[in-house]
Amino acid sequence: MFKVTPNPPNTGPVPCDASFELDPRKMKEAADRALSHYLNPGATKTQIPPRKRHTCFTIDAAVDDETLLVEASDSFAQAREMVNDLADLADNPRRHTMLVLARVILMGELAVNRVLDNHKPV
């Protein structure tokens, strides 16, 4: 079946057409206007204010070493328990990965506990 399609209307030259000639002086003026509008090179530069230190997870310098070691030991123990719980739910290849991760956490916990055992309070 043949469908009749009309020819497109003749609208004249398109700006990207090679026959359409652009004036280089007008193009430079337009580019300068656009740059000055968006980049504003003549404006004074404002200083970016320095970032304030975020104190949400900052450990107070007055906390003693023993307290920090106890907190680290507890965190390791809790992480090990979470990984063991997840390992119970995982399939075989992921279970082995989780158990290795639990062992690494256990090694860190043991190291912190040894330092805590050897710690002599001042």
Q: How far apart are the first and last CA of the chain?
A: 98
Residue ranges with strand state E in the chain: none
- The domain limits of the chain are 65-118
pTM, to two decimals: 0.50
Greater model confidence, 44 or 68: 68
Tens of pLDDT along 56-84?
Answer: 777 788 888 889 999 999 999 999 999 99
